[in-house]
Structure 1
Amino acid sequence: MHTNALRTVQAQIREQAAAYCESSGVPGYVAGVHHADEQIIVAHGTANVATGAPMLEDTGFLFGSVTKVLTTTLVLRQVERGLLDLDTPVVRYLPEFALSVPGAADKILVRHLISHTNGIDADLFFPDARGRDALTTYVDGLASGCGTLFEPGEQLSYSNGGMIVAGRLLEAVTGVPFPDLLQRDIYSTVGMQDSSTSAEQAILRSTAVGHFPDPETMAARPTGMFMLPETWGPAGGTPIGTVADLLAFGRTHLAGGVSPSGARVLSPASTALMQRTSHDMATPNVPPMGLGWVRYPFGDTTVLAMSGASPGGVAILCVVPGHDLVFTAFGNTSGAIMLHDRILRWLLSEHLGVRIPALITGREQDVDLTPYAGTYRSDQLRIDVSIADGGLEERTTYEPADESQERIFTRFSGGMTSAPPRRYVPIRPGLFAPAGYPVETFDGYLRLLLVSYHDVRDGQARFRNGGGRLTRRA
């Protein structure tokens, strides 16, 4: 029965991918589903428009932030070995770890790094270094250039910096460079035989590159930068692999830490700990956070997920423990996230029979907008929020710290340094939706498009949360 059901899934994904890529200018897409001991992979289109290379079932791609679940798995492995303790300050293992606010780093526990509750204000900090000392360079740079957004454990804000510090922490306690540790303890143990962390290795096999719309013709053009600097490895800058590899990793987390080949990667207790809620902001646009995993509630069903942007591409990994299902995919423009969401929702509702309730069931009238207007900032990012036509208007500006970081950021974003103004309509106090979207858009993964405001004091919100990231009132 399952084989026929998965054939239906395969046909459905092929159809959806072809239609979406055609209508939205995505050159290529590859996706895989594992369910109840059966597995399918679908590839469509072109991996690189410059060469015309086709997207194949075994074409490699950058994992992007999906890597954060791999990094967290590595941290839990060292906890099991007794080399790390989740409730010990990071500086105990990494004495050189410091931030620009004196004493701030001393309060950050190992747990805070992998639960995105560390408050490190470094989400766009892109130091350019490579080789064995890349992560050391990153951590050294935090001390002079990056402060904090909040007290550790107080809030939840998606943290690239926290994961990179975790990567350096792993190097310190194991004595092994992060790429080698990933290869030894994850790729080899899980059976991710086509995964690597270098463009030099990726070039030896079929590998997709990201694309951006050409400003004049809007046709997809290849990215000018394949991957982020090696300083971003543990947050998702460098790991590359295939759909089959990510399915194997997802299956390991479904099976209590045992890989498809039978090797134990994590204990059942550590696997369960990663999946358990560690922090909940209690707002629809920020799903509860486990360790590494984001916990997306779809009614009574929880989807453990992480998506990953790379220059001109986006990957996703979803694990549904209650239904023994793994879904992973990559599309080589950032707009492919819409297709990821569409397929995930189809798998849940049509294939698994999960009822997906509406996330937003109504809009309150006469919401007081004054607490939210103002300027909010985080590392190299400024968001000006003003009241306009019964809603909010946001202007986002990138404020580069130096020429090197500006070069990396603009290549990562396809040349964009400021976004056109965005309009948001109130749903209720503290929660806003981008104007022009039907409310059902937000029932799935795209709930991240909603914006929330938090910690209102003396009539002013202290924090804005967009895409899971906090900015603080200036």
Structure 2
Amino acid sequence: METTTTEIAAAMREQVTAYCENNGVPGYLAGVYRGGEQVVLAHGTANRSTGAAMREDTGFLLGSVTKVLTTTLLLRHVERGLLDLDRPVVSYLPEFELTEPGAAERIRVRNLLNHTNGIDADLLFADGAGRHALRDYTAALGRQCGVLFAPEEYASYSNGGMIVAGRLLEAVTGASYPELLERELYSSVGMADSSTSARQAILRSTAVGHFPAAEGARRTEMFMLPDTWGPAGGTAIGTVADLLAFGRTHLADGISPSGTRVLSAELTALMRQPSYDLGTPNVAPIGLGWLLMPFGSARVLTMSGASPGGVALLAVAPEQDLVFVAYGNDMRAMPLHDELLLWLLTESGVRVTDLVTPSEAGELVRYAGTYRSNQLRVEVRAVDGQLEEQTHYEPFDTEQERIFRGFAGGAVSGPPQRYVPIGRDLFAPAGMPAQAFNGYLRQLLVSYHGFADGRAAYRNAGGRMTRRHYDR
């Protein structure tokens, strides 16, 4: 007998209450659309400093969930003939440059949307606000950032690529990215309670993030990232109901709940078609905008979004006629997102099997070494049949450090972390059960790639590549 919407709401509320109280998460929002019915629930506090309650219509930063909105927005302009996915970005945006000569010229528009561009800018926090913020970010790319690999050689989660996509939209339309987001997407989808800036969000109920503290949680001192990060997930703010409407639009092949055609069925389908597969369990096949995450027999369109002290999730399961949206104003809410999504899929008839199993350790020296990417250094050592990693953030300047510290809650380097082998060139954090990685937390796994000289050339964690650094 199928679970009713009322029963789903009651079961979710029980899970949310127990998890938040046991793990110190101040507030939580969740929403489910399934088979024509919808439910939204709110729990706890939106801001511990004020005591404001989390409400069903409380807004929150979408974080990187914005990337799927940016992709949808760009494809609307492909549909109109203003952009071609297979043309070089520089043919529309001559200002686009990277520090490696000729690298920018090789990047096509589609490489911005499927994370295969290789731009080494994952942590480039260029400051800036207003109409020219994305232009300023693009200029900073040309001064400070090169590439990790050639286009389509690998995939690496690309904030920089998505920000360039936003600037590309500005160049071909003459409108700012926030203007396009409001006019072309919020309005068409029916996202009436969404906004593009803190200046708009202050006029309504909006949650703020929190970080773990001795008293349970402390409020963030940084509400959002600079305007330069808008298209990648710095500034967009929405509600559960609005994100459900966006998810339902993709569920309905591009038609919004109000009946408006937002995107053609062909381009909506293209977003969910695999365009790159790294072939490792910790990185889902990538469509355009979406991560195409397998859960047992189901393929779920997903994107999570971190903001200063918060984390959002959007998941669309077409075969199950299901959309799930969640937000927690503490990063410790991510396992709850996973728990609820796995439960909803199971309730919808999906049989989720273990993604990974323990494995014997091979020769670990082939993974050991120093790996680098934009302002990041990871030291990997072989210790007692395990790998030990330590990550260090190395900012270009005080501006980068200030923004990063605000986003991360103060920390710039993590403690050493041990990893155990669980598959070919694949490692899991020591002490975690295999079942923990069946859901979205599979992104905690670490994989190694490119063994031309017998040692790994790349390390992938959280979908992000770092490249082996060779001392010369």
TM-score, reference length from structure 2: 0.98
- Counterpart for residue 301 of structure 1: 298
TM-score, reference length from structure 1: 0.98
State how 1:14-413 maps to structure 2 within 5 Å. Answer: 14-214=13-213, 217-349=214-346, 351-361=347-357, 363-413=358-408
Give the Cα–Cα distance (whole angstroms) in 1 for the partners of residues 198 and 374 of structure 2: 28
Matched, 1:430 2:429: no
SS in 2 for 1:387: strand
SS in 2 for 1:139: helix
Conserved? CA contact 2:356–2:423, under 8 Å: no
Deviation at 1:364, TM superposition (A): 2.7
Matching residue's letter, 2:122? D
Instruction: Tell me how large the CA RMSD over aligned residues is.
Output: 0.9
Conserved? CA contact 2:60–2:206, under 8 Å: yes
Give the Cα–Cα distance (whole angstroms) in 1 for the partners of residues 138 and 248 of structure 2: 33
More deviation, 271-280/196-205: 196-205
Conserved? CA contact 2:276–2:286, under 8 Å: yes
Give the Cα–Cα distance (whole angstroms) in 2 for the partners of residues 278 and 365 of structure 1: 32
Give the Cα–Cα distance (whole angstroms) in 2 for the partners of residues 241 and 426 of structure 1: 40
Give the Cα–Cα distance (whole angstroms) in 2 for the partners of residues 291 and 162 of structure 1: 12
Distance 1:364 1:219, change over 3 A: closer
Give the Cα–Cα distance (whole angstroms) in 2 for the partners of residues 282 and 366 of structure 1: 20
Distance 1:359 1:183, change over 3 A: same
Give the Cα–Cα distance (whole angstroms) in 2 for the partners of residues 283 and 191 of structure 1: 37
Matched, 1:469 2:464: yes
Unaligned runs of 5+ in 1: none
Give the Cα–Cα distance (whole angstroms) in 2 for the partners of residues 128 and 348 of structure 1: 40
Deviation at 1:107, TM superposition (A): 0.1
Deviation at 1:415, TM superposition (A): 0.1
Give the Cα–Cα distance (whole angstroms) in 2 for the partners of residues 73 and 458 of structure 1: 41
How many pairs are equivalent? 469
Conserved? CA contact 1:368–1:429, under 8 Å: no
Deviation at 1:428, TM superposition (A): 2.6
SS in 1 for 2:365: coil
Give the Cα–Cα distance (whole angstroms) in 1 for the partners of residues 434 and 212 of structure 2: 27
SS in 2 for 1:457: coil
Give the Cα–Cα distance (whole angstroms) in 2 for the partners of residues 469 and 380 of structure 1: 13
Give the Cα–Cα distance (whole angstroms) in 2 for the partners of residues 103 and 365 of structure 1: 43
Give the Cα–Cα distance (whole angstroms) in 2 for the partners of residues 317 and 175 of structure 1: 30
Matching residue's letter, 1:384? E
Unaligned runs of 5+ in 2: none
Give the Cα–Cα distance (whole angstroms) in 1 for the partners of residues 446 and 18 of structure 2: 30
Kindly provide the CA deviation profile for residues 322-359 of structure 1, in whole angstroms up to 9, marking residues without a partner as x.
Answer: 0111000100001111100000000011x202100110
Give the Cα–Cα distance (whole angstroms) in 1 for the partners of residues 372 and 421 of structure 2: 21
Give the Cα–Cα distance (whole angstroms) in 1 for the partners of residues 450 and 384 of structure 2: 25
SS in 2 for 1:338: helix
Give the Cα–Cα distance (whole angstroms) in 1 for the partners of residues 206 and 11 of structure 2: 25
SS in 1 for 2:79: helix
Give the Cα–Cα distance (whole angstroms) in 2 for the partners of residues 81 and 411 of structure 1: 40
Give the Cα–Cα distance (whole angstroms) in 1 for the partners of residues 83 and 321 of structure 2: 31
Matching residue's letter, 2:352? I
Identity %, equivalent residues: 65
Kindly provide the CA deviation profile for residues 352-401 of structure 1, in whole angstroms up to 9, marking residues without a partner as x.
Answer: 0210011013x332411111000000000000000011010001000000
Give the Cα–Cα distance (whole angstroms) in 2 for the partners of residues 426 and 324 of structure 1: 36
Give the Cα–Cα distance (whole angstroms) in 2 for the partners of residues 400 and 297 of structure 1: 36
Give the Cα–Cα distance (whole angstroms) in 2 for the partners of residues 422 and 414 of structure 1: 19
Deviation at 1:218, TM superposition (A): 4.7
Conserved? CA contact 1:33–1:326, under 8 Å: yes
The runs of 4+ residues in structure 1 deviating greater than 4 Å are: none
